[in-house]
């Protein structure tokens, strides 16, 4: 496809496969295979990517090589916006040492999920974010960006309904804590388009100068792309997605794959947005993903059906 920016609004697609996508995988992908896969994604045009989680290997063996992967990705792809997740200061320090450009600090809107995920209450995790941000500011310029990611913002398998007021209050508290951006995550894939419109509008209205980050959507109930369209209608211009539709949260029972990157790119480009991503190369990169995770089921309608020839003609 032709990658052009003139006359088309830009939408950022953040690839989360190497982080969110792998954390629920049955097998552990070898470091060399991860690096080859990431290189193929970069070659396809991805410029923003979650590459690792800095969590205890005993809890998530898929991320045991987080520091090595992050450092080697930064060395090989200096223009890539390398994003990582870290739940605490220890993880943040390791992420900084490895060269991460953005660090996501997870805060759950659901008290039950917060206890299962980080063994803290929501208020305790917000306080931890404030402490981390303060310590990073004390370290002077050159620090990575801190993005507070609100998980289970649209519902929780442990708690059930998560009141929208809880999500809004959490977002405001994180903005006051000093986060550079606050993002909403549909961890379980329960969101509906109406809910996305409502919550995005409400949160953005109360965040003030702090930007709303990417919308992180899962496709558990088949509403992922519909929710993307709802986000676009509300002015969201950044979305997370996973190559091959991999993903899920091990601390949120029932969570399945993310929105598939290939399908998201097809939708966005078809709707007149510029992603800068070569869809043909993105689909071909699935071969490396399958080789690195043999036996893992990959998802995606566009990869299964093929890119329509009419779509190529329209580019």
Give the sign of the dihedral formed by CA 46, CA 101, CA 181, CA 184.
positive
156 is catalytic: no
* Distance linking the first and last C-alpha atoms of the chain: 6
Helical ranges in 51-121 per DSSP H? 66-76, 89-98, 111-118
Bridge partners, 106 (sequence order): 149
Contact 14, 239 (CB under 8 A): yes
Which one of 38, 249, 265, 282 is the catalytic residue?
249
Minimal CA–CA distance to 66: which of 55, 81, 74?
A: 55
User: How far is it, in rounded angstroms, from Cα 298 to Cα 286?
Assistant: 8
| DSSP sequence for 17-37 | IIIIIHHT-SSPPPHHHHHHH
Rg (CA), the chain: 18
Q: Burial, 50: exposed, middle or buried (Cβ in 10 Å; 0-12, 13-18, 19+)?
A: buried
User: How far is it, in rounded angstroms, from Cα 82 to Cα 68?
Assistant: 13
Tell me the pairing of strands 48-53 and 102-108: unpaired
Contact 85, 49 (CB under 8 A): no
Minimal CA–CA distance to 106: which of 90, 123, 126?
A: 126
With vertex at residue 173, the alpha carbon angle to CA 167 and CA 177, rounded to the nearest 5 degrees, is: 140
Catalytic residues: 249
């Amino acid at each position: 496809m032709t990658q052009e920016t003139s006359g088309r609004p830009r939408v950022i697609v953040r690839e989360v496969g190497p982080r969110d996508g792998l954390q629920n995988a049955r097998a552990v992908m070898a470091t060399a295979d991860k690096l080859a896969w990431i290189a193929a994604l970069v070659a396809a045009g991805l410029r923003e990517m979650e590459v690792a989680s800095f969590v205890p290997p005993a809890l998530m063996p898929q991320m045991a090589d987080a520091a090595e992967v992050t450092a080697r990705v930064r060395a090989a792809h200096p223009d890539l916006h390398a994003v990582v997740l870290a739940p605490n200061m220890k993880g943040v320090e390791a992420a900084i040492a490895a060269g991460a450009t953005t660090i996501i600090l997870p805060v759950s809107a659901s008290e039950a999920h917060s206890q299962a995920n980080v063994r803290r209450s929501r208020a305790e995790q917000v306080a931890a974010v404030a402490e981390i941000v303060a310590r990073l500011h004390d370290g002077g310029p050159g620090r990575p960006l801190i993005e507070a990611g609100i998980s289970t913002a649209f519902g929780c398998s442990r708690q059930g309904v998560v009141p929208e007021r809880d999500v809004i209050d959490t977002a405001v508290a994180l903005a006051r804590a000093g986060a550079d951006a606050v993002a909403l995550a549909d961890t379980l894939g329960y969101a509906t388009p109406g809910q996305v419109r409502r919550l995005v509008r409400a949160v953005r209205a109360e965040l003030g100068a702090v930007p709303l980050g990417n919308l992180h959507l899962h496709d558990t109930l088949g509403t992922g792309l519909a929710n993307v369209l709802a986000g676009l209608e509300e002015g969201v211009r950044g979305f997370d997605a996973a190559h091959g539709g991999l993903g899920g949260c091990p601390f949120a029972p029932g969570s399945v794959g993310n929105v598939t990157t290939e399908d998201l790119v097809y939708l966005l480009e078809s709707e007149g947005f510029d992603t800068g991503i070569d869809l043909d190369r993105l689909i071909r990169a699935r071969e490396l993903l399958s080789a690195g995770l043999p036996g893992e089921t990959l998802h995606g309608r566009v990869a299964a059906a093929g890119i329509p020839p009419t779509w190529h003609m329209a580019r």
